[in-house]
Structure formats: C-alpha cells, structure tokens
C-alpha cells in the first residue's frame, strides 16, 4: 500500500521532487536487464519515486506490495507474475519484498525461467525493500550476478528545500524524513512520529526479527547513546560504560553493525597508512539522519550535526571515508575517491583552527585540502563529485 501522506508532500505547490536514485534507475534499465534492487531507510520516498518513474515511462507495469500479505507467499508471487505476463507489461515491481519468506528463491526461479523464454525475456524486474539485513541475505544466497543495488539515502538539505521552505538550522534539527515534514510545526507530534512511526518499526520489524539479539532493551539503549555523539570519536569502552546492563565491546560492535545495516548510522575508522592502526582505532559515528539529534541528551550539538550531514553526503559516493587524528591534531574527514585523498574540514560557526589540516598535509603530501562551511555547503550538496574534483 502506498503511503498517501508522503505522496501528498511531493505535490506541494504542484511540484514533484525528482530524487537522484530515479535517474540511476532509469540509466541502469536503459543499458541492461538485471534485477533492480532499491533499498534504503523507511519513509524516504522509494515507493513514490518508483511510481513516478513508472508513470513517466508510459509503458505497462504491474506494481504490487508484499505489505500485509497473509496467503502463501510463494503462490502469491507466482500468481502476480502470471498477471504481469498476461498484461504483457514492461515492468514487474514488488514493494516490501523483504516481507516475503524465501523471496530470493522465488525470484530466482521466475527470473531464470524468464531468461530462457523469448516471450517474457524483456520484462524488467524492480524490487524495493527497507530491511537491508534480510535483503542482503537474500541477494547473496540466491541472486548472485542477477541484480544491481540502488541505495536511497535520507534527504539532504537541498532536496528538502525543494519541497518545503526551511532554514539550515531547522533542517539540522528535523531533516531527513520527508514524511515527517508535515509535522515540523508541532514539536511533540513530530517527535512522536519519528519515534513511533520510523525508529521503533526499524528496530522491532527490520532488525530484531532477523538478528538474534538476546537483549533487545540493551540494543535499544545503544541507539540512544549513539545519538549523543554525532560526528564524534568515542571508544567502545566508553560506550559500554554508559549501558545500564552488562555487556562487552564485541557485543557493542555487533549492535552498531546492525544499526549500520539498517541505514541509521555509519562508523568511520581512523585513516592511517598502517592497516593495524585503522583496526585498533576508536570509531567516529555519523548519524545518517539529522533529526536523530532529537534523541540526544547533550547540549548544543548543531555544529556536530552539520559535520555529520557532510559525512552522510560523502557516503553517497563510492569512495572510502575515514577521519584522521595524530595526538591533538585532527581532520574531520579523509575521503579516498578516484585515486585521490581529500582532507576535509567542516565548520558551522567560527573558523576552526587548521593546524590539524597542516599536520595532515605535511604527512600526506599528495592529499587535497577541502574546506566546507555554510557559504559553500549548498554547492557541495548540489554536485558533490565535481565539488571535490575541482579541488
């Protein structure tokens, strides 16, 4: 079932927001016939974007959602596939595919039979899902070599500005989930929506059923603790000390990995020319959605959240993201992209001391310095790759 509240937002002032992943989808389908797997957080417009794409193509399609399917899943997919074939569609689309048991086996069976048939060979498959844990398991178990993954991230500042009038400061407080923007003038309603309609379903429906977590209450504590440290380096031992129950650092690392797979956080390693130092370093945590700051009990963390949005934007590119520290010298991000190393400093308020950048450049002579602040932030967002390559 399509979320009407999200769709209505796309038509504010008669405007439709074109998300980057739709362009990628169109490009992939124009040059190949692999299964397109679209995954990302809940409530970021995956379904809406695909529906708009299908309508723009003006070709027959068969869209179905596995949300709420109660009958035998195997026969349900086969039945829907037969309907698609009878309609002679160009696109066969299944939403919330992760809710189907053994979905990858069923899709593999249909895909392989389709590939051998000249009659149905040209039908394109598009699968959507919000649970990376179950999606990835299915892809690696059954569909190797048959698919392409398209990741749909949380909305950034520029994408949000196209939808609603919003200041940068407000975006850093409430940004990320377009479905929540209708509530931003009602703080309590907004916070309740984020907690009850997004975070809790992710934990209770996308993670816990598939991860064998023995202490769910401890797992949920980790989420709240991570929200306190946006774009900050913190040791696993310190994180462990804040839990209200016994655990160990390996348990913390496992829990964090689940939050990463659910598109909520990303932990960065320390950049070093020696791999052993990378493995032994304390992580730096990047919340992938600005509004997670709602769950922080720290003081003013706006500048840290701004830094985290830069990190989240860099993670959209196929590079490798780190941070750097040498004693009291540090650089916010180190980005290895297209055989170049970029040292990136981020500032929200007053200019930061750049002694860390100077130390980094002295050690890594071929690195390119990049400075991002409020003045060039939108340029950075509008074309991140070119912004870096021009340095």
pLDDT score of 279: 60
Measured distance CA(214)–CA(373) in Å, rounded? 43
For each of the domains in the chain, give its residue range(s) and CATH number, in order of start.
4-151 (3.40.50.300), 213-389 (no CATH)
Please give the C-alpha separations between residue 379 and each of 27, 231, 383, 388, in angstroms, as whole numbers: 24, 21, 7, 11
User: Over 90: is that where the pLDDT of 331 sits?
Assistant: yes
pLDDT in tens, 199-257: 999 999 888 887 888 888 889 999 999 999 999 999 988 888 888 777 788 888 999 99
Of residues 112 and 273, more confidently modeled: 112
Q: What is the mean pLDDT of residues 28-55?
A: 92
Q: What is the mean pLDDT of residues 16-32?
A: 88
pLDDT score of 5: 39
% of the chain beyond a pLDDT of 70: 92
**pLDDT tier at 141, thresholds 50, 70, 90:** confident
DSSP string spanning 152-208? -----HHHHHHHS---HHHHHHH-S-GGGGGGTTSHHHHHHHIIIIIIHHIIIIIIH
pLDDT score of 12: 41
Of residues 189 and 355, more confidently modeled: 189
Closest by CA to 151, choosing from 241, 41, 56, is 41
pLDDT score of 353: 67
pLDDT score of 319: 95
Q: What is the mean pLDDT of residues 114-133?
A: 86
Q: What is the mean pLDDT of residues 345-352?
A: 82
Measured distance CA(326)–CA(345) in Å, rounded? 15
CB 294 within 8 A of CB 176: no
pLDDT score of 135: 81
CA 46 to chain CA mean position, Å: 11
Measured distance CA(88)–CA(61) in Å, rounded? 8
User: Over 70: is that where the pLDDT of 62 sits?
Assistant: yes
Closest by CA to 169, choosing from 180, 178, 182, 160, is 160
**pLDDT tier at 10, thresholds 50, 70, 90:** very low
- With both helix axes pointing from N to C terminus, report the angle between 103-115 and 73-86 in degrees, rounded to the nearest 10: 30
pLDDT score of 280: 63
Place of tokens 């070119």: 386
pLDDT in tens, 349-384: 876 667 899 999 999 999 999 999 999 999 999 999
Measured distance CA(334)–CA(278) in Å, rounded? 13
Average pLDDT for the chain: 88
Q: What is the largest CA-CA distance in the chain?
A: 67
Q: Which ranges of the chain does DSSP label H, i.e. alpha helix?
A: 4-9, 20-31, 46-57, 73-86, 103-115, 132-142, 157-163, 168-174, 187-193, 200-201, 208-211, 216-226, 236-241, 249-261, 275-280, 302-314, 355-363, 377-382, 384-389
pLDDT score of 281: 80
Of residues 215 and 316, more confidently modeled: 316
SS3 325: strand
Measured distance CA(56)–CA(60) in Å, rounded? 11
Measured distance CA(326)–CA(13) in Å, rounded? 50
User: DSSP character for 136?
Assistant: H
pLDDT in tens, 277-306: 556 689 999 999 999 999 998 878 999 999
Measured distance CA(309)–CA(288) in Å, rounded? 7
pTM: 0.90
pLDDT score of 369: 96
**pLDDT tier at 2, thresholds 50, 70, 90:** very low
**pLDDT tier at 68, thresholds 50, 70, 90:** confident
């Amino acid at each position: 079932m399509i979320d009407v509240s999200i769709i209505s937002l796309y038509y504010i002032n008669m405007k439709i927001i074109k998300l980057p992943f739709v362009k990628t989808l169109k490009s992939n389908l124009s040059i190949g016939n692999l299964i397109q797997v679209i995954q990302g957080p809940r409530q970021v417009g995956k379904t809406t974007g695909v529906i708009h794409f299908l309508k723009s193509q003006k070709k027959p399609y068969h869209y179905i959602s596995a949300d709420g399917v109660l009958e035998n899943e195997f026969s349900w997919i086969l039945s829907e596939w037969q309907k698609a074939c009878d309609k002679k569609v160009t696109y066969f689309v299944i939403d919330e595919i992760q809710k189907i048991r053994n979905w990858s086996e069923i899709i593999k069976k249909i895909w392989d039979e389709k590939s051998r048939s000249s009659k149905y060979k040209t039908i394109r498959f598009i699968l959507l899902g919000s649970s990376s844990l179950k999606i990835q398991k299915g892809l690696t178990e059954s569909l190797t070599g048959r698919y392409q993954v398209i990741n749909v991230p949380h909305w950034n500042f520029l994408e949000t500005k196209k939808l609603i009038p919003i200041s940068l400061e407000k975006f850093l407080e409430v940004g990320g989930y377009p479905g929540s923007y209708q509530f931003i003038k009602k703080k309590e309603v907004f916070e309740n929506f984020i907690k009850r309609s997004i975070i809790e379903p992710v934990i209770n429906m996308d993670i816990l059923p598939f991860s064998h977590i023995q202490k769910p209450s401890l797992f949920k504590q980790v989420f709240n603790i991570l929200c306190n440290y946006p774009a900050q380096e913190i040791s696993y031992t310190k994180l462990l000390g804040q839990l209200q129950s016994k655990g160990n650092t390996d348990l913390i690392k496992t829990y964090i990995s689940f939050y990463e797979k659910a598109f909520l956080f990303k932990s960065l390693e320390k950049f070093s020319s020696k791999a052993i130092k990378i493995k032994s370093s304390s992580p730096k945590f990047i919340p992938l959605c600005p509004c997670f700051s709602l769950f922080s009990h720290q003081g003013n963390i706006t500048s840290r959240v701004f830094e985290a949005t830069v990190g989240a934007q860099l993670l959209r590119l196929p590079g490798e993201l780190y941070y750097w520290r040498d004693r009291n010298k540090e650089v916010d991000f180190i980005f290895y992209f297209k055989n170049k190393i970029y040292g990136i400093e981020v500032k929200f308020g007053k200019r930061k001391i750049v002694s860390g950048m100077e130390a980094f450049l002295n050690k890594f002579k071929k690195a390119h310095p990049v400075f991002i602040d409020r003045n060039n932030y939108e340029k950075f967002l509008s074309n991140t790759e070119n912004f870096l390559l021009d340095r």
